[in-house]
Amino acid sequence: MELLKQKVMNEGIVLAKGVLKVDSFLNHQMDPFLMREIGREFKERFAEEGITKVLTIESSGIAPGIMAALEFGVPLIFARKQKSLTLTEDIFVEKVYSFTKKETNEITVSKKFVGSGERVLIVDDFLANGEAAFGLARIVEQAGASVAGIGIVIEKSFQPGRKLLQEAGYRVESLVRIASLEDGKVTFVGEE
């Protein structure tokens, strides 16, 4: 996706080995025009999958997730990282480790929002080690639903997430694949 690639090149900041800051268009301030195009791209890539729900984790996955859901004409569900006073019973709970934040979160989804027979598209902002995607996939499967695919905005291809997810049988579609963040420079897959 050329528009996204240009945003990463022009506005992405390599903070350290393995960490890319994209807060000017994806993680803090969001570019709504880019989010719309991301939603359209996920719709095109997963058009034949019979998607009935889109699932993500708060908060950075919500914008690309909602735009994908809008394109599919289906609801977006986001897994909560924070405990909610109103979300205490009949929930799916999974532990997910964040590579960027170096912490483990318990994510929760209400059982009333994902059920047996659903075809769920998982959407997330980054793919590194696959922890978030695996946690969301376990929730989908606990519900008796199926993971129709995993849509990633930015993949760090130098980390094992894609390989692990594909080995587990999941279809992974990443809009941008980064081969390296060495020496403060973003190198995309195919440019090595």
pLDDT digits (tens, 9 = 90+) for 155-179: 999 999 999 999 999 999 999 999 9
Bridging pattern class, strands 19-21 and 13-16: antiparallel
CA distance 15 to 148: 34
Could you give the 3-state DSSP secondary structure of residue 83? coil
Segment 100-129, tens digit of pLDDT: 778 898 999 999 999 999 999 999 999 999
Section 17-25 average pLDDT: 91
**CA 21, 25, 28, 33: dihedral to nearest 10 degrees?**
-160
